[in-house]
């Protein structure tokens, strides 16, 4: 099992182009930060196998439910941009785990909030390609979480 430590991933870094799972992670952040649904669909495992759990989307199982969560976020009035940092990378022939932190901003027409999350992303190799199987995100700062949820969901929540 190989373990490496990296500085940060924004999705704008050059890719190795050798089928490395780190390229898949870069693809994810590129797709997320540009709100590119077709690219997100291409990086996630298809069907009912994938899962996601975070304070905005809740627990979602299956690509359809995950896509619905991304669509709500991307079609809302807030824009979220994050960088993955302070993370480890370890894996085997057909699995890879990235565990670290995200930092970034949530911006609405009226307000900008600095955000920070703990994040785990689990990829598996399917048909020779790395695909995300699971994402878990959590928040350490309850005030930031409340402000973030207010910006994403609006005042009426």
Report the distance separating Cα 122 and Cα 130, nearest Å. 10
Could you read off the pLDDT tens digit of each residue along the chain, which spans 157 residues?
Answer: 454 545 899 999 988 888 899 999 999 999 999 999 999 999 999 999 999 999 999 999 999 999 999 999 999 999 999 999 999 999 999 999 999 999 999 999 999 999 999 999 999 999 999 999 999 999 999 999 999 999 998 864 4
Query: Domains (ranges, CATH) in the chain?
Result: 2-153 (3.10.450.50)
SS3 12: coil
pTM above 0.75, yes or no: yes
CB 88 within 8 A of CB 4: yes
Residue 134 CA, distance from chain mean position: 10
Would you call 4 exposed, middle or buried from its count of C-beta atoms within 10 A (0-12, 13-18, 19+)? exposed
The pLDDT score that the predictor gives to residue 66 is: 98
């Amino acid at each position: 099992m190989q373990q490496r430590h990296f500085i940060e991933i924004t999705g704008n870094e050059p890719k190795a182009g050798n089928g490395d799972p780190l390229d898949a992670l870069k693809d994810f952040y590129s797709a997320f930060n540009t709100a590119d649904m077709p690219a997100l669909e291409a990086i996630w495992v298809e069907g009912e196998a994938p899962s996601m759990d975070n304070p905005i989307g809740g627990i979602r199982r299956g690509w359809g439910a995950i896509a619905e969560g991304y669509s709500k976020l991307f079609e809302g009035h807030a824009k979220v941009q994050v960088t993955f940092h302070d993370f480890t990378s370890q894996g085997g022939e057909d699995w890879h785990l990235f565990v670290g932190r995200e930092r970034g901003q949530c911006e609405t027409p009226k307000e900008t909030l600095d955000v920070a999350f703990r994040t785990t992303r689990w990829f598996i190799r399917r048909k020779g390609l790395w695909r995300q199987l699971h994402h878990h995100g959590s928040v350490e700062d309850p005030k930031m979480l409340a402000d973030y949820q207010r910006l994403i969901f609006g005042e009426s929540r």
